[in-house]
């Protein structure tokens, strides 16, 4: 949590994804199926569910932005492992494809959204010199680009309609229902509700009608635009998901 914002954006957005990808594509496709791997897939799915619930719980309890985002990364990564048993035990090709599509969209939208949120939190710290949520009142009035970056990226993490996170979670939820994995489907829904609970305080504080005087300090335009563009693209993935998924299906 003490890492500077750009480094946190890279670590959270990119570095944590490859292990999940390797497990899904190598371990579940290259290695032959056996009972041990089936049990391990359930272990990974259970750990993913715990990550979603407890990562979200600790994110809700945080008073600083960067710690909140760090725990939310744990929760969002839990989705990628939660779907391992669904993919491993799916008997129909289109369900496996659906899981892979959901994985790809979840990984991409989370990487962009979380990078945007870390950069936005860095912008807030640049002005306030503090990391506490209590130092964000009125931030939307003085720095709207940073606020909208937080809005678009937060909406993506929650999975609000039209966002990349919504399409990803919808695909994973649909795959879990079609394969009879009700537990995973429930966790997907609970995770979205919990995400709303830790994202909403950021929005609420930012849109307070009592801005702090220290927010008169300007933020360099490049810093604001980089966070805004990443957040907007993360949200817009949902609008162009059909085109992106055609590319994924073509490669498979």
Domain that holds residue 197: 5-251
Quick one: which of 96, 204, 114 has its CA closest to 153?
A: 114
- Rounded to whole angstroms, how far apart are CA atoms 9 and 27? 28
Inform me whether the pLDDT recorded for 25 exceeds 90.
no
pLDDT score recorded for residue 145? 86
Counting the structural domains of the chain, the total is 1
The residue count of the chain comes to 252
- Rounded to whole angstroms, how far apart are CA atoms 84 and 136? 38
Helix then strand then coil, in percent of the chain rounded to 5, is: 80, 0, 20
Inform me whether the pLDDT recorded for 1 exceeds 50.
no
In terms of pTM, does the model score above 0.75?
Answer: yes
Share of the chain above pLDDT 90, in %: 25
pLDDT, one tens digit per residue, over 135-164 is 666 677 778 888 899 999 999 999 999 899
pLDDT, one tens digit per residue, over 55-82 is 999 999 998 888 898 899 889 888 888 8
């Amino acid at each position: 949590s003490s890492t500077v914002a750009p480094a946190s954006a890279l670590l959270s957005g990119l570095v944590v994804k490859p292990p999940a990808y390797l497990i899904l594509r190598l371990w579940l496709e290259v290695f032959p199926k056996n009972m041990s791997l089936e049990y391990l897939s359930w272990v990974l799915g259970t750990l993913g569910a715990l990550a979603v619930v407890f990562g979200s719980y600790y994110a809700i309890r945080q008073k600083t932005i960067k710690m909140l985002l760090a725990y939310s990364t744990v929760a969002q990564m839990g989705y990628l492992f939660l779907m391992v048993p669904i993919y491993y035990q799916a008997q129909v090709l289109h369900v496996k494809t659906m899981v892979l599509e959901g994985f790809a969209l979840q990984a991409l939208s989370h990487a962009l959204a979380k990078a945007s949120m870390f950069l936005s939190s860095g912008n807030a710290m640049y002005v306030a010199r503090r990391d506490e949520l209590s130092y964000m009142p009125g931030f939307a009035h003085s720095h709207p680009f940073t606020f909208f970056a937080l809005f678009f990226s937060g909406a993506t993490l929650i999975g609000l309609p039209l966002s990349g996170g919504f399409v990803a979670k919808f695909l994973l939820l649909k795959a879990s229902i079609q394969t009879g994995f009700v537990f995973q489907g429930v966790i997907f829904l609970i995770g979205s509700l919990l995400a709303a609970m830790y994202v909403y305080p950021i929005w609420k504080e930012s849109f307070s009608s009592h801005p702090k005087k220290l927010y008169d300090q300007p933020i360099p335009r490049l810093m604001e635009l980089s966070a805004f563009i990443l957040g907007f693209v993360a949200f817009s993935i949902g609008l162009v998901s059909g085109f992106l998924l055609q590319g994924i299906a073509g490669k498979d």
